[in-house]
Amino acid sequence: MKYLAYSLRKLVQGTEDNANNNSRRARETSLMSQNLQSQNTSDTAGNQSFRWFHRNATRGLRGIALVIHGLNLRPDKMESIIEILTGSGVDALNLSLRGHGENYSRQAGMDDAQTRLKAFKSVSYELWRDEAYAAYKIAKRRSIQKNAPLFFVGFSFGALMGVDLLACMPEVQFDRMVLFAPGLQIHSRYQIVRILSSFQGLTIPSFSIKSYRANEGTPVAAYTALLDSLEHLDKNLSPKINVPAVIFIDPRDEFVSFNELKKWVEHEKLDQWIFHIVNKDTTGKLGKIHHIIIDEASTGKELWGEMADVMVGHLLAPY
């Protein structure tokens, strides 16, 4: 039991909890809501899975982006990325997968955290794939209507979902992609969750940063969905995924194996995929957490500015 407890802790380790981030989270959310413009449209109205963020009024439309968050990550933590997109003339559709954000059904006698976690315990690869595909169709429809290129931007598990869609569904097409720490090749220790496959409702406590977490823990069902996604992609790989892509990654990433990812990209002959190495300053509060590289708070101001320039330059480069 001691070994199992240690192994489960390693499964979700890679970041240390920081309870003092609550006030900073509130400030970040307030500032972000002031800077971003969002609204419901006919294709997303009343659906808590999707949220449109529209480009700044002074910018002409330069593209449409589908954005997908990571496993047990608050979807609004993708808004630092979205702010860069909208500021560059790109409309962004932010997807909240089941069990994240507001994508859950409220129930009498249970608070929001309880009902969100209950929804998180019922997920599967197929469910999340269908949600991602539904979001893709909405974004694709907008790109056709506006005669604008369609981009994909994903972090960690979200990046895996986007690449899986592109590989497996003939009709799915992205003009360019930006992948933050993509969960395409993860460290082997995470396979330990398979031994708990009979306990899909079991929730493993999270040791990640509290202000980034969608839930206090991650159910076995969610980890199983992640591993099923990896297996599905492996069985359905296609040259179709070789579209222009930038991969942001810290070689010391606790979740994604940088070396295995490089080998995989080379083996699959993805010559349009380019790595941009993120060497985080380890002196800050989040510096020792190498997987989270999605905002200024997690990377530092100078590095985040560099990443923003690379992302925009990649997406909006002449065709």
Q: What's residue 283's pLDDT?
A: 65
pLDDT the model gives residue 284:
62
What's the whole-number mean pLDDT along residues 100-112?
89
Express each pLDDT in 211-238 by its tens digit: 999 999 999 999 999 999 999 999 999 9
Residue-level pLDDT at 47: 66
Q: In the predicted model, is pLDDT for residue 16 greater than 50?
A: no
Confidence of residue 106 (pLDDT cuts 50, 70, 90): confident
**If pLDDT is split at 50, 70 and 90, which confidence band does 285 have?**
low
What's residue 205's pLDDT?
85
Determine the average pLDDT of the residues in 269-291.
Answer: 87
pLDDT, residue 94, reads 98
pLDDT band for position 44 (50/70/90)? low
Distance CA 172, CA 153 (A): 14
d(CA 50, CA 266): 34
In this prediction, residue 252 carries a pLDDT of 95
pLDDT-derived band at 29, boundaries 50, 70, 90: very low
Superfamily of domain 2-315: Alpha/Beta hydrolase fold, catalytic domain (3.40.50.1820)
Indicate the domain borders of the chain: 2-315
Q: What is the mean pLDDT of the chain?
A: 86
Q: How confident is the model over 68-96, as pLDDT tens digits?
A: 999 999 999 999 999 999 999 999 999 99
Least trusted range by pLDDT, from 91-105, 274-288, 301-315: 274-288
Q: What is the mean pLDDT of residues 180-188?
A: 96
Residue-wise pLDDT tens digits, 129-177? 999 999 999 999 999 999 999 999 999 999 999 999 999 999 999 999 9
Q: Would the pLDDT of 21 be above 90?
A: no
Q: What is the pLDDT of residues 229-264, one digit of tens each?
A: 999 999 999 999 999 999 999 999 999 999 999 999
